[in-house]
Structure 1
């Protein structure tokens, strides 16, 4: 996952702690049958494409990209997650073929040259980062003209509704100011054993501006739908999401073939 800024001191250590059992998160119904099908709809053809899996976690989706014919490179700020990913590719079909770097997304991706990748995929990671401007500037730099960035993140409307109108047990906030980017932690613990994970909520506009200011164009916007499989496997989540705003926002940005013609303002 991406590392923390100065007022988010526990993000990296939080994901180091999550690393040993992270497959329970990537295999969860909300990821596999709700978020991932929507992200998959946004992906261009992958065969032969160089893909940056940004905040790759334990490499679950990095491996999925490789299985689809892509040439992936992983990056994560958590040393424990990087170790897990390298172990995943230590032997077997993709042994020695997939580089995995330890780096913070806000540090500019120095291990990649300009225009080095065809696609950047960043799933459910940016909600832990305040500074999206630095992240999207790096994504735009390493992306080839005509390439795309696919992002999934917490839905700004859901984040606001959770805090302002009904505080769920896991949302550690009592109110929200919609126009601000605010830190709001969530408790992922079980049975009275707290496990606090730092999040940031931001208005909808702030989910787009860092990308457009970096010269990217908004190409598609999708909100996950309740699939029959998801409703069968996770009926409580499905009912909650059906009655309220979606849990996630999924976006695809395009780097124009002639990015010099794009201006913002």
Structure 2
């Protein structure tokens, strides 16, 4: 991405978070809530080639190759990538590149990957058509895409009804794709992260329009480990809509 091109909307904040990002990836909501749902959708990773799309600092890329895969990690944040490059400096199983998912991934070859893994990144992108066009191009026939992203139902409820202070919205229109930012900061400083909420169809149409079929949908459930780590939050999620939705798409042969 050249310096005169417009940066992805969330790049600056992820550059800011890069130094402490392991605190997020190792949090209970990721490790005991989101990751088990994602893991249930993954094929056997032994011997396959995986694109970790929006790899961040490489935390989950490392987990992928530990299961026997080779991997390429791409991310729009140069600060995140510097941490990923340091993580894999002596590991020839992993290649790391800077890339904006909406640019079609020109740094990657056609039909080169068995699997694309994209965790909690698409909610920062307004239009998904170009993203799935790129995924289709770089995947082999029979390849799969596993995505986790914000759940449309919870996103709408939290934007329309102010139940969490960090959701920066006054109202929502369910059929629309709308920017609804979130403040991940604390009492001393704000950290506003750009997000987009969308209807359920907005999750599936961009993939279907680019030749994918939907194989499976998983909504995370409250695990015992998550409940022990964050009992109050677990109670909210046990009775209400989940934070995330996870989908496996297939590129037919």
SS at match of 1:99: strand
Q: Deviations over 1:161-195 (max 9, x none)?
A: 00112341100001100000000110000124111
Does residue 31 of the first structure (1) align with residue 30 of the second (2)?
A: yes
The answer for the alignment partner of 1:154 in structure 2 is 150
The answer for the alignment partner of 1:78 in structure 2 is 77
Does residue 187 of the first structure (1) align with residue 186 of the second (2)?
A: no
The answer for the alignment partner of 1:121 in structure 2 is 117
Equivalent residue pairs, number? 249
Alpha-carbon distance in structure 2 between the residues aligned to 1:155 and 1:204: 8
SS at match of 2:93: coil
Unaligned runs of 5+ in 2: none
Contact map agreement 1:155 1:249 (CA 8 A) in 2: yes
Alpha-carbon distance in structure 2 between the residues aligned to 1:231 and 1:30: 10
The answer for the alignment partner of 1:55 in structure 2 is 54
The answer for the alignment partner of 1:217 in structure 2 is 213
1:10 Cα deviation (Å)?
Answer: 4.7
Alpha-carbon distance in structure 2 between the residues aligned to 1:107 and 1:90: 26
Contact map agreement 1:223 1:249 (CA 8 A) in 2: yes
Q: Deviations over 1:225-255 (max 9, x none)?
A: 1111110111122111112100000000011
1:71 Cα deviation (Å)?
Answer: 0.7
Alpha-carbon distance in structure 2 between the residues aligned to 1:248 and 1:82: 25
1:124-135, aligned counterparts within 5 Å? Answer: 124-135=120-131
Does residue 90 of the first structure (1) align with residue 89 of the second (2)?
A: yes
Alpha-carbon distance in structure 2 between the residues aligned to 1:89 and 1:113: 21
Does residue 103 of the first structure (1) align with residue 86 of the second (2)?
A: no
Give the TM-score normalised by structure 1: 0.92
Distance 1:189 1:59, change over 3 A: same
Alpha-carbon distance in structure 2 between the residues aligned to 1:128 and 1:171: 14
Does residue 138 of the first structure (1) align with residue 134 of the second (2)?
A: yes
The answer for the alignment partner of 2:108 in structure 1 is 112
SS at match of 2:108: coil
Contact map agreement 2:8 2:100 (CA 8 A) in 1: no
Q: Deviations over 1:6-51 (max 9, x none)?
A: 6x87511110000000000000000000000000000011101000
Between 1:27-36 and 1:8-17, the stretch displaced more is: 8-17
Give the TM-score normalised by structure 2: 0.96
Alpha-carbon distance in structure 2 between the residues aligned to 1:27 and 1:177: 33
Contact map agreement 1:216 1:254 (CA 8 A) in 2: yes
